[in-house]
């Protein structure tokens, strides 16, 4: 009898050890592969990290090491010089994101404002997402928004120089063959819209910047991963969302990005409308909401709590114009 009890206890212990081993293996694998799970009550992924500058490291180098774009690391560290942040300086690494607000998490979703691509997929019925920083079209060559799909996958693409670029740079040949001088990099995904591509780059510093002629660029090390995961026919949704709202358990988060192309945008109204749409207005801390809208750090900020009750009427324009908290002036519209 005693021997049987010992065997039973041993089997229970073995089960616990094996379960823990599987858990930690999955956790470390997911963290290393930058694959995140999400759900209805969890639309905030990743964690904020910090980095100590080593010698003459620039923010551009640090951003690439953490797989974030130039825009993200600069917005998260407004007091640091992007090129000479200073040895031993502490750098905020914004590796935390709120998922874009779309009808369905299916295939590729690109948020132009934050310059980031999300790829949604399922593995054994588990909803997963992987995310990459991108470079986008500059002013006058804006990356289009809308619903598209992947219609062709190309390895080592040749670059057929468009006439518009030839007029700007007549020294270019008609076709640039694959290789280190090819701006398309090693892989390309063709969208169902003219000549627009999701591709690599021979200029990694362009990721997190508006420097392309409308195409979407990924780091050279990222594009092969995306290329391998994405099948032909994959849905591609491109949106422009400077304000995102998400939840993580009982907590509400907001993420605000500057969008210089939208001159008339009212960030506060955008935030309130999203919170209203998701039924989250009653959960927020007004002071934290104001601070997040004012800072526009591009980092998810927790705004839930009951330190200050949200009043029924707020004059948003006055707040945004004066850049400070105020409950005075004319009522714009009730919540």
Residue 259 clears pLDDT 80, i.e. is over it: yes
E strand intervals along 195-270:
197-199, 210-212, 216-217, 235-239, 243-248, 251-256
- Residue 96 falls inside a structural domain: no
pLDDT of residue 95: 97
Please indicate, yes or no, whether residues 133 and 221 belong to a single structural domain of this protein.
yes
**How many separate domains does the chain show?**
2
- Percent of the chain predicted with pLDDT > 70: 81
CA 174 to chain centre: 35
Find where tokens 């120089």 sit.
161
Q: Could you give the 3-state DSSP secondary structure of residue 264?
A: coil
**Final residue before a domain boundary, out of 239, 270, 288:** 239
Please indicate, yes or no, whether residues 111 and 228 belong to a single structural domain of this protein.
yes
Please indicate, yes or no, whether residues 158 and 251 belong to a single structural domain of this protein.
no
- Residue 272 falls inside a structural domain: yes
Contact 228/221 with Cβ under 8 angstroms? no
**Final residue before a domain boundary, out of 224, 239, 254:** 239
Please indicate, yes or no, whether residues 220 and 273 belong to a single structural domain of this protein.
no
Residue 143 clears pLDDT 60, i.e. is over it: yes
Q: Residue 271 corresponds to which tokens in the numbers above?
A: 């935030």
- Residue 229 falls inside a structural domain: yes
pLDDT in tens, 146-172: 999 999 999 999 988 877 788 888 888
The catalytic site residues sit at 199, 215
- Segment among 117-126, 136-145, 220-229, 253-262 with least mean pLDDT: 136-145
- Closest by CA to 197, choosing from 185, 215, 184, is 215
Question: What range defines the domain where residue 199 resides?
Answer: 102-239
- Residue 184 falls inside a structural domain: yes
Please indicate, yes or no, whether residues 223 and 179 belong to a single structural domain of this protein.
yes
State the pLDDT confidence band at 21, using cuts at 50, 70 and 90.
very low
Please indicate, yes or no, whether residues 251 and 301 belong to a single structural domain of this protein.
yes
Average pLDDT, integer, range 84-97: 96
Dihedral sign for Cα atoms in the order 170, 174, 178, 179:
negative
**Final residue before a domain boundary, out of 216, 239, 262:** 239
């Amino acid at each position: 009898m005693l021997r049987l009890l010992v065997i039973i206890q041993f089997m229970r212990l073995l089960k616990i050890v094996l379960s823990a081993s599987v858990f930690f293996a999955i956790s470390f694998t997911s963290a290393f592969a930058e694959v995140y799970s999400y759900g209805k009550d969890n639309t905030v992924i990743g964690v904020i990290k910090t980095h100590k500058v080593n010698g003459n490291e620039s923010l551009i180098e640090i951003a690439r090491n953490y797989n974030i774009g130039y825009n993200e690391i600069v917005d998260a560290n407004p007091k640091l010089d992007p090129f000479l942040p200073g040895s031993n300086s502490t750098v905020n690494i914004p590796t935390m994101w709120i998922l874009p607000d779309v009808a369905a998490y299916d295939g590729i979703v690109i948020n132009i404002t934050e310059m980031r691509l999300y790829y949604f997929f399922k593995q054994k019925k588990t909803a997963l997402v992987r995310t990459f920083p991108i470079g986008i079209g500059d002013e006058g060559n804006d990356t289009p928004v809308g619903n598209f799909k992947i219609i062709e996958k190309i390895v080592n693409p040749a670059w057929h120089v468009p006439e518009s670029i030839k007029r700007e740079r007549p020294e270019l040949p008609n076709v640039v063959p694959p290789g280190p001088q090819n701006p398309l990099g090693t892989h390309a995904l063709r969208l169902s819209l003219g000549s627009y591509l999701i591709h690599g780059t021979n200029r990694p510093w362009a990721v997190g910047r508006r420097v392309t002629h409308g195409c979407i660029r990924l780091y050279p090390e990222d594009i092969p991963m995306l290329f391998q995961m994405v099948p032909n026919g994959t849905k591609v949704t491109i949106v422009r969302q400077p304000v995102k709202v998400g939840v993580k358990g009982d907590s509400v988060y907001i993420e605000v990005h500057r969008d210089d192309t939208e001159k008339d945008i009212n960030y506060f109204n955008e935030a309130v409308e999203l919170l209203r749409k998701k039924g989250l207005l009653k959960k927020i801390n007004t002071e934290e909401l104001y601070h997040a809208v004012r800072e526009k750090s591009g980092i998810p900020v927790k705004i839930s709590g009951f330190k200050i009750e949200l009043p029924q009427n707020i004059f948003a324009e006055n707040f945004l114009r004066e850049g400070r908290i105020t409950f005075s002036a004319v009522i714009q519209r009730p919540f």
